[in-house]
Amino acid sequence: MAKSEKIKGNAITKLFEELITYKTSLKMSLLNSDFEQLTRITALADRHNELHFIIGTQEDFEHASAKAAPWRIRFEFTGRDHIEYGFTTIGGEIHGNRTFVKMPRVVERNQRRKLFRINAPAGTKLCLTLGGIRPELEVINLSIGGSLAALVQTNSEVKGSPLFADNYFLKDAELIFPAEIMRHPIKISAIQIKRMKMNTERERYEVALEFYEIDQSEQQKLTDLIYRLQRQYLRKRLPLDI
């Protein structure tokens, strides 16, 4: 599932400045042609009283764009937040080894919510059921489809050895958040352990797991919560319009 948002105004300039700083690669496609290449934004410039961004000129693009006027160019890239962005521009000019492209009015941000992971709020726990043991995991990061968590509490008998094997299934787990985030736990019918290994630096086991089976109503609660936390993170990092 993907959720599309629109970035506008000065937030676009801030985003492009970040692309320049981190030398982010963009896929560039000249619409109505078969031309496609990777490029980078090297600078922003005011041209003819309009803000433009500058990319390097390649001979192939110069030939392809000569047959298309005005230019309609699609740009796509993955941000440092691992979210996909895209925008379409109309018009531009080539001057020597630099191509000036008009800034877009809108940049789309497409959040693939099942794949997007956020750092879990401090104090988030995952309680499992394993025979007579009730292991408690500290949730490190979280997505709609699963989690990375650390084993922080168990009995002394199993503290120094792994509790699970890869692909192990557990039933009746609970995802517990701090009260200010969510008052009631989210119940997960079945979890599959995808990977468990010792973090020697922190001296603890870390577990990658998938929410294998979850009731639809619990899934919706988790989806709503993840999306709310996601939006808080993204707005703090890059407002949609500033």
> CA 108 to CA 88: how far, in whole Å?
9
Nearest 5°: the CA angle 190, 196, 201 is 140
Least confidently predicted of 39-48, 62-71, 218-227: 62-71
Residues 38-63 have pLDDT tens digits of: 899 999 999 888 999 999 877 788 77
pLDDT-derived band at 237 (thresholds 50, 70, 90) equals low
Q: What is the mean pLDDT of residues 173-177?
A: 94
DSSP β-bridge partners for residue 211: 191
**Nearest-CA neighbor of 15 among 109, 91, 99?**
109
**The overall pTM is greater than 0.75:** no
Domains (range + CATH), the chain? 2-112 (2.30.110.10), 118-236 (2.40.10.220)
Selected residue with higher pLDDT from 171 and 134? 171
With contact defined as beta carbons under 8 Å apart, do 96 and 1 qualify? Answer: no
The mean-pLDDT minimum among 2-6, 116-120, 153-157, 236-240 falls in 153-157
* CA-wise closest residue to 108 among 77, 86, 76, 90: 86
